Amino acid sequence: MSLFLSSVSVEQPVSAVYAFLADMNNQGQLMPDNIINWSSTADEASFEIQNITSLSLRIEERVTNTSVRILPSQQPPFEMELFWSLIGNGSSTAVTFTINAQLNMMMKMLASAPLQKLADEETRRLSAILAAK
- Which residues in the chain show pLDDT less than 70? none
Q: pTM value? A: 0.92
Q: Which of 18, 26, 7, 1 is nearest to 119 (CA)?
A: 7
Residue 1 confidence (pLDDT)? 84
Q: Are 63 and 15 in contact (CB under 8 A)?
A: no
- Please name each of the domains of the chain with its CATH number: 2-131 (3.30.530.20)
Burial of 125 (0-12, 13-18, 19+ CB in 10 A): middle
Q: What pLDDT is stored for residue 66 in this prediction?
A: 98
Give the other-Cβ count within 10 Å of 86's Cβ.
20
**How many Å apart are CA 114 and CA 98, to the nearest integer?**
14
Which residues on neighbouring strands pair with residue 41, listed in sequence order?
none
- Tell me how far apart the alpha carbons of residues 68 and 60 are, in angstroms, rounded to a whole number: 8
